[in-house]
Amino acid sequence: MSVLPKALAFDVFGTVVDWRGSIAREAAPVLVAAGRSDIDPHAFADQWRARYVPAMLAANKARAASESTAFVKLDSLHRTMLDDLLATLDIDLDDSTRAELTRGWHRLDPWPDTVAGLTRLKRRFPIVTLSNGNISMMVAMARRAGLPWDAILGAEVAGAYKPAAQTYQATAAALDVAPGELCLVAAHHADLAAARKAGLMCAFVSRPMEYGGRPAPDRDAVQAWEYSATSFTDLADQLGC
């Protein structure tokens, strides 16, 4: 297309990093130590992640219902989700083990093309996060994985979780660009659909192994996005980087 965005904003979980494989890696020794080697670590990661969207929606609803309700960081929600999962699976872990397992979300591995692709894209565009992850989590992840962000933006800055429109629009405002001048890069059609509704441009990047090769749960939300790529390096090619 002829009109290029002025900046690129990236979903992180699943788009930039492999949350499923990374959390399975973190959970595996914990499950063995707890005497629950019968539980597949990848299934454990899936069940933890399955609590993600309901937790986000509940947090947004609580904030909308009362202006005095403080924004709850994703680290706190992850811990609540973990406690619920452990209770469901009848696994007893001490507090320090639970805390360290929750911090596993700070140590997610990038996809093989991530760093090279971001580095190329950064040559031409400002690149920022537009994630539901809190700032300290995104900073720790970036430092560990070498993610070259220009800024950490998203839910904590906006005071709301995606798919709330203000999360996307606040990111554009922080960059002093119009929503239509900001392009969300994501592997999730539902995220892109919400971004488009909020006025953003959209770039889909396929991550077929995010769910271990299973079909993505939001595949029915697909639209004709401004860009569609197989990797960040492919997107860089398309954007002339």
Q: What is the mean pLDDT of the chain?
A: 96
> Same domain, yes or no, for 156 and 45?
no
Measured distance CA(86)–CA(93) in Å, rounded: 8
What's residue 89's pLDDT? 97
Q: What's the CATH code of the domain at 179? A: 3.40.50.1000
Please compute the mean of the pLDDT values over residues 63-70 and round it to a whole number. Answer: 82
> Same domain, yes or no, for 136 and 216?
yes
Please compute the mean of the pLDDT values over residues 10-29 and round it to a whole number. Answer: 98
Strand spans (E) along the chain: 7-10, 17-18, 109-110, 127-131, 151-154, 182-186, 201-205, 227-229
Does the pLDDT at position 1 exceed 60?
no
Q: What's the CATH code of the domain at 35? A: 1.10.150.240
pTM score above 0.85: yes
The residue behind tokens 């399955």 is: 50
What's residue 2's pLDDT? 62
Q: Tell me, yes or no, whether 196 lies in a domain.
A: yes
Please compute the mean of the pLDDT values over residues 45-55 and round it to a whole number. Answer: 94
Q: Which amino acid is at 80?
A: T
For residue 98, what are the domain limits?
Answer: 20-106
Give per-residue pLDDT as tens, 175-227: 999 999 999 999 999 999 999 999 999 999 999 999 999 988 888 889 999 99
